[in-house]
Amino acid sequence: MNAGRPDTGQGELSPYDHSTLKSLLGAWALAACSRDESLAVELHLTDCAACADEALRLRDAVGLLHQEETLDLDPLLRSRVLSGCLDRRPARVPLPRWAGPYDAETARLDALLRDLGDGYWDAPVELRWYEGKRVAREVSVAQVIGHLYAVDGLVASALGLPLDELPLDPAERTESYWAGAHGQAGAPLRGAWREQGRTLVRTVSFAGRGTGGLDVEYGAFTLPLRDAFLDRAFECWIHAWDIAEAVDYPYDPPAARDLHPMIDLAARMLPTAIAGRRRAGLTASPARLTTAGSPGRSVHLEIEGQGGGNWYIALDSPGALATAGEAVAHVALDSVEFCQLAAGHLEPERIAVGQDGDREVIRDVLFAAASLSRL
């Protein structure tokens, strides 16, 4: 019996002695040995208890070096892959740029739901919006997806897809859907919501130019289809965030290229929101008569951070021309905090904001932003 050079099992002595085999244990644990070295080490481990214990300890240590993969992928990964593909071969049926954020946010929420699994459908989620004060309502994860499915149906109707009999107002539509879908299983609901989203994206991709100008009815107001897609992308992100927050799951904001058009939509809606609050007697600053198309007072809205930019918000009429020369105040906000304000998640009185100029005007802009929120 030769203790220094083990038999290979084929009637030959191994060219590796015990000390050499012991020195190879680290490389073997890392799968860095050659085929012959691995065979020699593994044969040796069947005969040497000390080396077998050491090999097991090293393998356990190597396992700690490899972190488990997460389904919370880089939000830019999908766009990078698509961009790389399209650089090589342009899409035969391109996705309209204004539909990109909705496509990305529905995919991210779907990945979140898949990661959470079926055990979370009944988990409580707090939905928040602003109606003169912060309003909150506790619902389930399944009800959140039902809400998104019901309101996305308004966009589907505008595209000529099968029409349901639910009300046009988003809040009434949601309540009606919840009443009729009581106890609906989560997995089929997720499938229906996801398929509806894919159908919307596919339909506008094949519809060609001009589709973005179609009107989408929201009951008390309408939005062009291109803006409705941004509105749905924004709500999808906010409610995905609500779900993730409720189950203590990390969830990042949208990619900058998708977040910027969502912020732009909110900024463009502010003049109409200010005018509506002024008619209701809810504004602090005095009104000034300004005809449509003429220069009027404005607020310089500076959104800092990812997806940010600069906007000039008309104060006296939604149709007035807002310019830097007529700015009476300057407001600076972080991009994510501005979106939280517009979603009714932050109260305008308590938001951290950089400001300069007419304080009453600034107050009107912040409260108008909060009033954009809804169930």
- Return d(Cα 153, Cα 147) in angstroms, integer: 10
8 Å CB contact between 237 and 112: no
Mean of the pLDDT values across residues 76-80? 57
pLDDT at 69: 47
Write b or e for each residue in 197-212: b if 16 or more Cβ atoms lie within 10 A of its Cβ, otherwise e. beebbebbbebeeebb
Mean of the pLDDT values across residues 60-66? 67
- Return d(Cα 243, Cα 113) in angstroms, integer: 9
pLDDT at 208: 73
pLDDT at residue 10 above 80?
no
Tell me: the pLDDT tens digits for 141-155?
Answer: 999 999 999 999 999
Q: Where are the alpha helices (DSSP H) in 215-334?
A: 225-246, 256-279
More confident residue, 244 or 6: 244
pLDDT at 222: 95
pLDDT at residue 86 above 80?
no
8 Å CB contact between 296 and 322: yes
Kindly report the pTM of this predicted structure. Answer: 0.76
**pLDDT band at 84; cut points 50, 70, 90:** low
pLDDT at residue 43 above 50?
yes
In order of 131, 174, 190, the CA distances from 185 in angstroms are 32, 17, 9
Lowest-confidence pick of 124-128, 130-134, 185-189, 224-228:
185-189
Amino acid (one-letter) located at 59 = R
Burial class for 362, CB neighbours closer than 10 Å (0-12, 13-18, 19+): buried
Most distant pair of Cα atoms in the chain: their distance: 107
Matching residue, tokens 């077998």: 52
Tell me: the pLDDT tens digits for 156-172?
Answer: 999 998 878 899 999 99
pLDDT at 132: 87
pLDDT at residue 3 above 80?
no
pLDDT at residue 276 above 90?
yes
Mean of the pLDDT values across residues 119-146? 94
- Return d(Cα 241, Cα 246) in angstroms, integer: 8
pLDDT at 200: 96
pLDDT at 56: 85
What count of other Cβ atoms lies within 10 Å of the Cβ of residue 358? 18
Length of the chain: 375
pLDDT at 4: 47
- Return d(Cα 107, Cα 334) in angstroms, integer: 25
Mean of the pLDDT values across residues 128-139? 92
8 Å CB contact between 298 and 365: no
For residue 249, the 8-state DSSP code is -
* Beta pairing class for 309-314 and 354-357: unpaired
Average pLDDT over the chain, rounded to whole?
87
**pLDDT band at 352; cut points 50, 70, 90:** confident
Indicate the SS3 state at residue 236: helix
Domains and CATH numbers, the chain: 18-65 (no CATH), 97-246 (1.20.120.450), 256-371 (3.30.1050)
Indicate the SS3 state at residue 333: strand
pLDDT at 258: 96
Tell me: the pLDDT tens digits for 178-220?
Answer: 998 766 778 899 999 999 999 999 999 988 777 999 999 999 9
pLDDT at 293: 85
- Quote the Cα angle for 115-121-125, to 5°: 100
**pLDDT band at 24; cut points 50, 70, 90:** confident
Q: Where are the alpha helices (DSSP H) in the chain?
A: 18-23, 25-29, 35-45, 49-65, 77-88, 100-116, 141-158, 170-180, 186-207, 225-246, 256-279, 335-342, 359-371
More confident residue, 32 or 323: 323
Tell me: the pLDDT tens digits for 240-264?
Answer: 999 999 999 999 999 999 999 999 9
**pLDDT band at 27; cut points 50, 70, 90:** confident
Q: Report the percentage of the chain scoring pLDDT > 70.
A: 87
For residue 95, the 8-state DSSP code is P
8 Å CB contact between 178 and 143: yes
The CA R_g of the chain, rounded to the nearest whole Å, is 29
Indicate the SS3 state at residue 313: strand
